[in-house]
Structure 1
Amino acid sequence: EEYVGPDYVPMMWSNELKLMAEDWANTLAANCKNEAPSTPYGWNTAGKQGSPDFRSVEDVMTIWENKLDKGRPENYEFTQVLWQATEYVGCADAVSPPASDKV
């Protein structure tokens, strides 16, 4: 909340973006690497290895928030959710073949 400015516009959930995120998360998990999608949409990722548990939304947001003051390029993962023009969000997760590697 400390980063919300006077021009704040709340984001809305998009099932279409969720399906796109799910497809991309499955691709990343299948290939066991984190790379940028070829899409006109902004994206954010968080990965984890070695544990059977997914990170909570709060944990992922904390990771991104901790990069906020670092500037570019270290904070790229967080910038999409800060852009005033961002109106919609869709999220997904996936498990890579050896069940302990997560994307």
Structure 2
Amino acid sequence: MILATLVGAFAARGVRREARAGRLGVRRPPQRGWLTGLGLGAAAAAVSVAVAWLLQTVGVATASLTALMLVKAVYSGVLGYLVAGWVIRKHVQ
């Protein structure tokens, strides 16, 4: 949730800065990108808990450290990309 909140806040700040500089047309300047990020982060957390529960019910009790690191790296990258894209698309014409 922290990653998504920070990405949302910084993406909104970037959109505001580019709009003020005249390089970007926006419908309305974003005010609460962090709120969008927080919502998407909460949704991602709920999905990850559901996936962990599902894996446990199928019998996957443990995973190697390498597998966990790989999943976390992919998850963080994808979540950051989706949040930034969502915030930008929400405010750009």
Same fold (TM over 0.5): no
**TM-score, reference length from structure 1:** 0.27
Greater helix proportion: 2
**TM-score, reference length from structure 2:** 0.30
Greater strand proportion: 1
Give 1 or 2 for the bigger CA radius of gyration.
2
